[in-house]
Amino acid sequence: MCPDEQQINYTSLTDSRELPAISQAAGGSKLRPFGLLAELTYRCPLHCPYCSNPVQLSQEQRENELTTAEWQRVIREAASLGVLHLLFSGGEPLLRRDLPTLVATARSVGLYTNLLTSALGLTRRRLQELQEAGLDSVQISFQADEAALANGIAGCPGAHERKLEAARLVKASGLPLSINLVLHRGNIERLPALIALAEQLGAQRLELANTQYLGWAFCNRMALLPTRAQVQQAEIIVRAAQERLRGRMEVLYVLPDYYAERPKPCLYGWGRRYLSVTPDGAVLPCQNARMIPDLHFDNVRQRSLAEIWERSEAFERFRGSHWMPEPCRSCPLREQDFGGCRCQAFLLTGNAANTDPACSLSPYHSRLLSIIAEVEQQQSASSSGPDSPFAPNGQPLIPIRFRTNP
Please, which pLDDT band fits residue 6 given cuts at 50, 70 and 90?
A: very low
Q: Which residues pair with 137 in a beta bridge?
A: 114
337-350 mean pLDDT: 95
Query: Is residue 312 included in any domain, yes or no?
Result: yes
Query: Is residue 66 included in any domain, yes or no?
Result: no
User: What does the pLDDT look like over 76-92, one tens digit per residue?
Assistant: 999 999 999 999 999 99
Q: How far apart are CA 126 and CA 190, in angstroms?
A: 32
Q: Which residues pair with 178 in a beta bridge?
A: 139, 205
Instruction: Identify the domain containing residue 314 by its residue range.
Output: 267-363
Query: Is residue 332 included in any domain, yes or no?
Result: yes
Q: Which of 50-64, 82-96, 333-347, 374-388 has the highest mean pLDDT?
A: 82-96
CA atoms within 13 A on the CB side of 73: 14
DSSP class per residue in 47-64: --TT--S-SS--HHHHH-
* 3-state DSSP helix/strand/coil % of the chain, to nearest 5: 40, 15, 50
Query: Is residue 249 included in any domain, yes or no?
Result: no
Query: Is residue 285 included in any domain, yes or no?
Result: yes
CA angle 137, 276, 144 (to 5 degrees): 50
Query: Is residue 33 included in any domain, yes or no?
Result: no
Specify whether the CB–CB gap between 272 and 319 falls below 8 A.
yes
Q: Is the pLDDT of residue 297 over 50?
A: yes
pTM value?
A: 0.91
Overall domain count for the chain:
1
Torsion of CA 239, 245, 249, 251, to 10 degrees: 0
- Tell whether 343 is in a known binding site: no
Query: Is residue 318 included in any domain, yes or no?
Result: yes
Per-residue b or e along 357-374, where b marks 16 or more CB atoms closer than 10 Å to that residue's CB = bbbeebebbeebeebbee
CB atoms within 10 A of CB 383: 5
Q: How far apart are CA 377 and CA 312, in angstroms?
A: 45
User: What does the pLDDT look like over 126-168, one tens digit per residue?
Assistant: 999 999 999 999 999 999 999 999 999 999 999 999 999 999 9
Query: Is residue 274 included in any domain, yes or no?
Result: yes
